[in-house]
Amino acid sequence: MDDLKKYHETNKDRYLNELLAWLRIPSISADQKFKGDVEKAANYLADQFKTLGMDNVKIYPTKGHPIVYAEKSVSPDVPTVLVYGHYDVQPPDPLDLWSSPPFEPVIRDGKIFARGSCDDKGQVYMHVKALEAMMQNHSLPCNVKFMVEGEEEVGSNNLEIFCKEYKEMLDCDVILISDTSMISNDVPSITTGLRGLSYVEVEVTGPNKDLHSGVYGGAVANPVNVLCSMIDSLKDGNNHITIPGFYDQVELVSTEERASMNSAPFNEQAYKEELGIQAVMGESGYTTLERTTIRPTLDVNGIWGGYTGEGAKTVLPSKAHAKISMRLVPNQDPDEITRLFTAHFKSIAPAGVTVKVQAHHGGYPVVIPVDSIEYLAARQAMEKTFGKTPIPQRGGGSIPIVALFEKVLGVKSILLGFGLDSDDIHSPDEHFGLFNFYKGIETIPYFYQYYAQMKRDAPV
């Protein structure tokens, strides 16, 4: 692998500049205004694949944003790795909290600051450059396929259709995904679990028009007050979610696993200081690590209603809205949870209001086995480049597509992420360490090498 090391050394600045150019394209999938930029970002990636000399490079249109596909075959006798990632990004707001514009990447303190720098353009680009290095040095030990979508941040609504339609084209031995984080740069880890997601938007309507709060106040249900009460009632005093049936399918994690999980390095004081909070807050009976991994949640992601401008307006609004998401754990079914939420939320609405519930995207939780050849290859690759055995760790986020791959393609994924929880993905000042970017590019080829080896040596 020395040739690769040299190659990386010689080309690292170009690697970075190419990524920065990609980050300058505001590929915000949630907002139709940016549809053109999302396409531009797809084209940029496709051009990269063509330059690398990959085969069947194609941009597949969907009902939503397009999917970029490319492949390179070396031999029918070696395993095939399917790299999945996404080139779309979260909306950058609130914009005023960014130290520098989200789509004008800058390097500060050895980090790339830009929306998408870590989630997920930066991590996708590690794979592109690792592949370039292997191809340029004639050391690509596996067949490789890339499937990079533009709708991950809005629920990957069209990917299932795509996977079903192109099942054969996507045939592979393992799916490699870098869209997660490590514990720290000194404590490498591999994500062995993901939470699922149910995301709903609710609308509470009181009177058929905004009213004067003096003339009608006190006699007519105020949809904002009502929405607040309804949201409050979704959790009890122990921050236990009150939706009937919500916990029925929740997997009970063994005392042993909880113990080993809680033995992972975690400094609550540092955690609180990092977030500027006096105290953590969550479900009674569980640690912070458990609350963010093996337990489901219910969070309001957005709320609005009435007068939110400057000064004071004495209005009794007609409508109030909220976006509410629930993180799910094995074996909760997102569709079932969405059904339970909807039925319950409508059932608790008082007579003075009407309630609408709209389901956004959902995703299934997943657990990754730690005894598979795929996991062992990933572990060995990280050991090689970090000099430490990575810790298996469940993640709190959701990549709905991982469960989908198992269902549709029948293939397990490996979550080989190089970001950090402190990278502020989905927040202002999202960033990605140069150390992490380059470490990823260095580690990925070892995964290919060890994986090809292990498959070759594995008893058929």
| Active-site amino acid positions | 88, 152
Rounded to 5°, angle at Cα 200 from 42 and 406: 55
Residue from the set 169, 428, 453, 454 that interacts with its own copies by CB under 8 A: 428
Residue from the set 169, 183, 221, 348 that interacts with its own copies by CB under 8 A: 221
Residue from the set 117, 156, 158, 297 that interacts with its own copies by CB under 8 A: 297
Decide if residue 384 touches its own copies (CB under 8 A). no
Residue number with CB closer to its own copies (197 or 340): 197
CB atoms within 10 A of CB 267: 9
Residue number with CB closer to its own copies (298 or 441): 298
- Contact positions with its own copies (CB under 8 A) in 158-197: 181, 195, 197
Residue from the set 13, 209, 238, 387 that interacts with its own copies by CB under 8 A: 209
Min dist CB 319 to its own copies, Å, is: 9
Handedness of CA 154, 158, 164, 168 (dihedral sign): negative
Take residue 128 and report the two structure tokens written for it.
């592109």
How many CA atoms, within 13 angstroms, populate the side-chain half-sphere of residue 69?
14
Min dist CB 337 to its own copies, Å, is: 14
Handedness of CA 339, 343, 349, 353 (dihedral sign): positive
Residue from the set 313, 388, 407, 456 that interacts with its own copies by CB under 8 A: 313
Distance spanning both ends of the chain, measured CA to CA: 28
Residue number with CB closer to its own copies (65 or 72): 65
Take residue 431 and report the two structure tokens written for it.
């960033």
Decide if residue 440 touches its own copies (CB under 8 A). no
Range 31-69 burial, b when 16+ CB lie within 10 A, else e = eeebeebbbbbbebbbebbeebebeebebbebebbbbbb
Min dist CB 129 to its own copies, Å, is: 25
Point out which span in 70-78, 93-101, 106-114, 432-440 binds its own copies (CB under 8 A): 93-101
Residue from the set 307, 331, 343, 370 that interacts with its own copies by CB under 8 A: 307
- Contact positions with its own copies (CB under 8 A) in 319-348: 320-323, 325, 327
Decide if residue 312 touches its own copies (CB under 8 A). yes
Residue number with CB closer to its own copies (8 or 195): 195
Q: Are strands 80-86 and 174-177 parallel, antiparallel or unpaired?
A: parallel
Q: Which helix (H) or strand (E) covers residue 228, if one does?
A: helix 223-232
Residue from the set 11, 225, 249, 453 that interacts with its own copies by CB under 8 A: 225
Take residue 266 and report the two structure tokens written for it.
């975690």
Take residue 367 and report the two structure tokens written for it.
């657990």
Residue from the set 214, 387, 410, 459 that interacts with its own copies by CB under 8 A: 214
Point out which span in 120-128, 152-160, 405-413, 439-447 binds its own copies (CB under 8 A): 152-160
- Contact positions with its own copies (CB under 8 A) in 56-85: none
Min dist CB 219 to its own copies, Å, is: 4
Handedness of CA 254, 297, 392, 174 (dihedral sign): positive
Q: Binding string to its own copies for residues 246 to 285, with x set by CB under 8 A, is what? A: -----------------------------xxxxxxxxx--
Min dist CB 374 to its own copies, Å, is: 23
**200 phi/psi in degrees, rounded to 5:** -125, 160
Min dist CB 78 to its own copies, Å, is: 35
User: What are the beta bridge partners of residue 176?
Assistant: 83, 414
Handedness of CA 39, 400, 322, 312 (dihedral sign): negative
Would you call the peptide bond into 17 cis, given omega within 30 degrees of 0 as the criterion? no
Decide if residue 203 touches its own copies (CB under 8 A). no
